[in-house]
Structure 1
């Protein structure tokens, strides 16, 4: 955290240095845009084929085949969720929140894509519907669906508060993956990764640059829907912080379940569509 009062005197050209314009690190104009019209036409033909519930302070796994849609819905009360995604056939290919953030920004919405880890680096899922897209950025700099928070975890909880808390999202996701793939917790834990914080309202303070959260604007009936670009295994944790308006590792916060629904479209509606290929880099690294 930056000191409240700088310890180093500002140079004579300090204001000139601060006034230099920013440069976008990764311009995305050359990325092919998602074909939302085709996705939405396919969605209109889809039928519901599965439903999974992530109970309060717990997580659940689900599968979403390539070409299907999955929807995360707030059903009973304000609740945020932590989402992990993997290639269903290869857990080493997983959601890369840092690169997604670099490409699309700190918070995601309709038309943004969830990118996978190296060496594949390809779209795993595309957001097709977001009922909270009206929120934008508030006066505190907060917005919804972030890729800046890592997930609440028992290690940081122990560091800051002491104790052994087992219902942080990291542990919830670990248990869910272990159950889904018949692993021990020790085998599953290395596969748990930084998340998309679904429905969570977050930002950075302007004075200290610290990550903050505030009560989520989500209400029952709100949802975030995705098109599965590849065969996916997902895990969703209903965060122990509830709407994250007070704390995010808590046995006292009001918590609610989250619903995941899978929708399968008519195959003819996606005629000509194919899953995105793995990244084209040759992997030689200059050798």
Structure 2
């Protein structure tokens, strides 16, 4: 059973690592104002890469039930900046809504794959 452990680093209000929850809530609630750019399915036992521009939102779903897979994210302009799952867990604890990059910036917003702008 998955346990929701507290973050290893407790963030104080106004700290650089504090998540701007209001910003992400605005992204989540304004879905109807976005335009669908692309929609695709990644078949089982395959993979796919796609670019998401700054300001765009993407969604990953599992329409046939729970799946196991790898999910990797890189900055197209700086491959040293990448999704850092281990650091994200340290910074935010168990269930994560705001994955962090190797430079500790929010890498992506986990909303729930449609690709909108």
Partner of 2:3: none
Alignment size in residue pairs: 107
Alignment pair present for 1:92 and 2:80: yes
Question: For residues 29 and 49 of structure 1, do their structure 2 counterparts lie closer, same or farther at Cα, with a shift above 3 Å needed?
Answer: same
Partner of 1:113: 98
CA offsets 1:61-99 (integer angstroms, 9 cap, x no match): 111111111111122344233210000112111011111
Question: For residues 81 and 25 of structure 1, do their structure 2 counterparts lie closer, same or farther at Cα, with a shift above 3 Å needed?
Answer: closer
How far apart are 1:102 and its partner, in Å? Answer: 0.4
Corresponding residue SS for 1:123: coil
CA offsets 1:147-166 (integer angstroms, 9 cap, x no match): xxxxxxxxxxxxxxxxxxxx
Query: Does the 8 Å contact 2:59/2:110 carry over to 1?
Result: no
Partner of 2:33: 45
Which of 26, 40, 57 is 2:9 aligned to? Answer: 26
Structure 2: 5+ residue stretches without partners: 1-5
Partner of 1:12: none
Partner of 1:124: 107
Structure 2 length-normalised TM? 0.76
Q: Could you say which structure has the larger radius of gyration?
A: 1
Question: For residues 97 and 37 of structure 1, do their structure 2 counterparts lie closer, same or farther at Cα, with a shift above 3 Å needed?
Answer: closer
Alignment pair present for 1:263 and 2:116: yes
Structure 1: 5+ residue stretches without partners: 1-22, 129-223, 225-259, 265-287
- Whole-angstrom CA distance in 2 between matches of 1:55 and 1:97: 24
User: Per residue, is there more strand in 1 or in 2?
Assistant: 1
- Whole-angstrom CA distance in 2 between matches of 1:39 and 1:50: 18
Structure 1 length-normalised TM? 0.34
Partner of 1:104: 92
- Whole-angstrom CA distance in 1 between matches of 2:29 and 2:115: 16
